[in-house]
Structure 1
Amino acid sequence: MDARYTRTDFHDGISRYGSSLIDAVVRRAARREGAVRFRVEMLIHDERQLALLPVGVSWHRVGAPTSVAEPLVARRVNALAPDVVFSPMQTMGSFGRCYGLILTLHDLIYYQHRTPPQNLPLPVRLLWRLYHLGYGPQRLLLNRADRVATVSETTAALIRRHRLTRRPVDVVSNAPQAVQAPRDPDRAPDKSLVYMGSFMEYKGVDDLVAAVPLLPGYTLHLLSTITPGRRAELEQALDAARRREGACGGTVVFHGGVSDERYVELLRSATALVTLSRAEGFGLPLAEAMSHGTPVVATDLPIFHEIGGDDGAYLPVDVAEAPATVLAAAVRRLERPDAFAAASRAAARQAERFTWDASADRLLDAAEAVLQARRSVPEQCPPAATTPTAP
Structure 2
Amino acid sequence: MIYINGRFLQKPITGTERFAREIVQAMDTLAGLTNLKDAITILAPPGTPAPEGLKNIKFQTCGTRQGHAWEQWDLYRAASDGTLLSLTNSGPVLHPHQTVIIHDVAPYRMPKDFSLSYQAFHRILGRLLAKRSQIATVSKFSSSDLAAVLSLDSERIPVFYNGHEHILRAPSDDMVIEKLGLQDRPYFLFIGSPAPRKNLGMAIKAFRALKRSDIAFVIVGAANPKVFRESLDAQAENILMPGRLTDGEIVALYQHALALVFPSLYEGFGIPPLEAMVHGCPVLAADIPAVREVCGDAALYFSAQDTADCTRCLQSFLDDPDMGETLRQKGATRYAEFSWSKSAEQVLERLFDSKLQGKSISQ
What's the counterpart of residue 121 of structure 1? Answer: none
What's the counterpart of residue 61 of structure 2? Answer: 61
- Count of matched residue pairs: 334
Contact 2:7 2:67 in 1 (8 A): no
**Which stretch shows the higher mean deviation, 189-198 or 305-314?**
189-198
Distance 2:110 2:72 in 1: 25
Equivalences for residues 6-85 of structure 1 within 5 A: 6-7=9-10, 11-32=13-34, 39-45=39-45, 47=47, 49-50=49-50, 53-56=52-55, 57-62=57-62, 66-78=67-79, 81=81, 83-85=82-84
Q: Secondary structure at the match of 1:311?
A: coil
Distance 2:309 2:202 in 1: 6
Alignment of 1:155 with 2:145, yes or no, is: no
Q: Which has the higher helix share?
A: 2
Spell out, residue by residue over 1:70-105, the C-alpha distance to the aligned partner (whole angstroms, 9 max, x if none).
3223443236x4x3211113321132x36x211011
Distance 2:266 2:192 in 1: 12
Change (3 A) 1:65 1:144: farther
Q: Secondary structure at the match of 1:140?
A: helix
Alignment of 1:251 with 2:238, yes or no, is: yes
What's the counterpart of residue 89 of structure 2? Answer: 90
**TM-score normalised by structure 1 residue count:** 0.76
Letter in 1 for 2:312: V
What's the counterpart of residue 214 of structure 2? Answer: 217
What's the counterpart of residue 271 of structure 2? Answer: 284
Distance 2:151 2:74 in 1: 23
Following TM superposition, by how much is the alpha carbon of 1:11 offset from its aligned partner in structure 2, in angstroms?
2.0
Alignment of 1:347 with 2:334, yes or no, is: no
Distance 2:37 2:351 in 1: 11
Change (3 A) 1:307 1:341: same
Alignment of 1:129 with 2:119, yes or no, is: yes
Spell out, residue by residue over 1:1-59, the C-alpha distance to the aligned partner (whole angstroms, 9 max, x if none).
22211346x522122111100000111233348xx7772221222655435x5434421
Following TM superposition, by how much is the alpha carbon of 1:65 offset from its aligned partner in structure 2, in angstroms?
6.1
Spell out, residue by residue over 1:270-292, the C-alpha distance to the aligned partner (whole angstroms, 9 max, x if none).
11111111000000111111111
Distance 2:101 2:244 in 1: 27
Change (3 A) 1:347 1:7: farther
What's the counterpart of residue 386 of structure 1? Answer: none
Contact 2:43 2:75 in 1 (8 A): no
Distance 1:103 1:283 in 2: 19
Spell out, residue by residue over 1:83-139, the C-alpha distance to the aligned partner (whole angstroms, 9 max, x if none).
3211113321132x36x211011001221222456xxxxxxx54322246xx66522
Distance 2:185 2:41 in 1: 44
Contact 2:163 2:340 in 1 (8 A): yes
User: Which is bigger in relative contact order (C-alpha 8 A, separation at least 6)?
Assistant: 1
What's the counterpart of residue 208 of structure 1? Answer: 203
Distance 1:180 1:66 in 2: 31
**RMSD across aligned C-alpha pairs, in angstroms?**
3.1
Q: Secondary structure at the match of 2:43?
A: strand
Q: Secondary structure at the match of 1:220?
A: strand
Distance 1:311 1:70 in 2: 40
Gaps of 5+ in 1: 118-124, 184-188, 240-247, 371-391
What's the counterpart of residue 383 of structure 1? Answer: none
Letter in 2 for 1:92: G
Percent of aligned pairs sharing the same letter: 21
Residue among 111, 117, 139 paired with 2:127: 139
Distance 1:203 1:288 in 2: 17
Gaps of 5+ in 2: 173-183, 355-363
Following TM superposition, by how much is the alpha carbon of 1:226 offset from its aligned partner in structure 2, in angstroms?
0.6
Following TM superposition, by how much is the alpha carbon of 1:322 offset from its aligned partner in structure 2, in angstroms?
2.6
Contact 2:88 2:102 in 1 (8 A): yes
* Structure of larger gyration radius: 1
**TM-score normalised by structure 2 residue count:** 0.81
Following TM superposition, by how much is the alpha carbon of 1:222 offset from its aligned partner in structure 2, in angstroms?
1.3
Alignment of 1:102 with 2:99, yes or no, is: yes
